[in-house]
Structure 1
């Protein structure tokens, strides 16, 4: 039986694919002005999809953006206003400066299509509740119609997500038409495993394995130096960092996502500022309070332009999130030394 390589966390898969695409690549391509090294038809499996963050100092992963993007998907949004606050470069992918197109995966997954009253996501959940061992729980995202739009700046990289309930566990298979291994893979896996876990919670199932297949797996030449630094760090370190990621609250519902995003908007627009004690008293459970803490950290960095984020907020974060923040922003550096 041929199966993709299995890793416990996304970090291992990320490093393995970077090595493959940079040191053993099959092709050197130029697509839409981007020169890249490429391998075709690769995949991996995560035995524990909750371990969705890499702890590599050189890579400087951004958990604030990753939580924001996952919530943006789960809410079914496509507006540029929210997501560009966390990633200003995404504006270049918007045709009208207001909404995103193909990359707004949540808009396709969590909203009913024209002429329907149920979203594709909810319809698949309904199927999995009633049909044991169904193979039909597929959520297509990429549409051939996207290619008919002249100079489309935002064609979906995600082909679709396949949900499979087996023996009390919810597994998911992700199919990507293409993946930028250095810039896109980490955010994609974070968001898609969050969608998988969210679906498992709605169905009352345990979290199963996550499998990720890529048609074109590539590393852009402009990022080659950073990729090499990341690989060198991984080769040279003696003791890799490991911080367990908690399970999503079993009480998570669509209303939970709405409430978290209400707090996110207040912080993003600087209409509120929260202390750790304030966040601890909010109408969301401890799991989602971590996301609000991250948004408060980013509010202080963006709006207050502080040299040091409030210590109480940093201390309330889980150790792995503090570690990542400390390696990304000087204002959080006092957390970076904590192991």
Structure 2
């Protein structure tokens, strides 16, 4: 018997939790001045964690940030210089204006642990390679010392990730102490399922199910109007868009992440500019070429500020990514003369 509702994609889980919190909220809270409706102790399971993008025009999910945050995690970083470019609002969570603390999950997971040359992630991968049925593949993130500083704006919402190889597949269970269902859930599931898929490749396993448990699942009152529009859209559309996303290439390793991030930095700092032909010549797998295309499109939006982005890049994008970009940024839906496509 399953203990959590099962969905084929994150979109179904996201909508179900929004409906639950909107229609059956258990509490109204005001933690740190944020008025919110809350349900306690909820979860869901994804049968296909690769379907980690929601296609809802009113939600306007941002695939550029989602891939950037994932790479930031996988590289074990905590700097604001990179992630603040894609999400300026995250700067408010830094105590020194230079780095992030609890929310820099990748620094906890992928940076070498104190006194060792291995990260937590490396240690768990080594454990599971030698003991495939182990139940010990748990990666804790939230630290008890975070409770000591009550004024800190940056405390980990992620308690930990549990990697469970079973019958040739890698399953993962995520435990969240809290989740903002409208703003945080989608990015969290995107990044964590990417980490799961990356781990499966390192272990030589197929991708299994992803299960997500939340202690405090909440929707902030300030986001209630958008949540209503999202639910109205989902209830009124004849069918949801269907854009199956491909598998991460089996050749993906730490060097792959570093290679993609080299191009990310050059584009973020406006040192280079690419077209689709340039990107195809970078020596990356087509899967990771798509990510560099997103970063180049975002460079054009941020630095060039043109009336329309390069149509050749848009045409080369995966249809689902193009759908999201066109709804997130009007310049991605505009013809070169500035008119709508």
Q: What is the aligned partner in structure 1 of residue 127 from structure 2?
A: 127
**Counterpart contact for 1:259–1:283, Cα < 8 Å:** no
1:89 aligns with 2:94: no
* Distance of 2:83 and 2:248 partners within structure 1: 22
Deviations 1:142-198 (A, max 9, x none): 001011124111000000000000011000000000000000000000000000000
1:219 aligns with 2:224: no
**Counterpart contact for 1:165–1:171, Cα < 8 Å:** yes
SS in 1 for 2:90: helix
Q: What is the aligned partner in structure 1 of residue 45 from structure 2?
A: 45
Q: What is the aligned partner in structure 2 of residue 194 from structure 1?
A: 194
* Distance of 1:287 and 1:262 partners within structure 2: 16
Q: TM-score, normalised by structure 2?
A: 0.97
1:234 aligns with 2:214: no
**Counterpart contact for 1:9–1:46, Cα < 8 Å:** yes
* Distance of 2:188 and 2:132 partners within structure 1: 28
Stretches (4+) displaced over 2 A: none
Deviation at 1:283, TM superposition (A): 2.3
* Distance of 1:69 and 1:216 partners within structure 2: 23
* Distance of 1:331 and 1:120 partners within structure 2: 42
Deviations 1:40-89 (A, max 9, x none): 00000000000000000000000000000000000000000100100000
1:310-329 matches, cutoff 5 A: 310-329=310-329
1:183-332 matches, cutoff 5 A: 183-332=183-332
Unaligned runs of 5+ in 2: none
Q: What is the aligned partner in structure 2 of residue 159 from structure 1?
A: 159
* Distance of 2:132 and 2:179 partners within structure 1: 32
Deviation at 1:22, TM superposition (A): 1.2
Number of residue-to-residue matches in the alignment: 337
SS in 1 for 2:239: coil
Q: TM-score, normalised by structure 1?
A: 0.98
Deviation at 1:117, TM superposition (A): 1.9
1:94-109 matches, cutoff 5 A: 94-109=94-109
**Counterpart contact for 2:307–2:334, Cα < 8 Å:** no
* More deviation, 15-24/326-335: 326-335
Q: What is the aligned partner in structure 1 of residue 146 from structure 2?
A: 146
Unaligned runs of 5+ in 1: none
Deviation at 1:114, TM superposition (A): 1.4
* Distance of 2:39 and 2:149 partners within structure 1: 27
Q: What is the aligned partner in structure 1 of residue 333 from structure 2?
A: 333
For the aligned residue pairs, the C-alpha RMSD in angstroms reads 1.1
1:9 aligns with 2:35: no
Deviations 1:110-167 (A, max 9, x none): 0122122210000000011000210000000000101112411100000000000001
Deviations 1:227-285 (A, max 9, x none): 00000000000011110010000000100000000000000000000010000011211
* Distance of 2:258 and 2:132 partners within structure 1: 30
SS in 1 for 2:315: helix
Deviation at 1:333, TM superposition (A): 1.1
Deviation at 1:2, TM superposition (A): 4.3
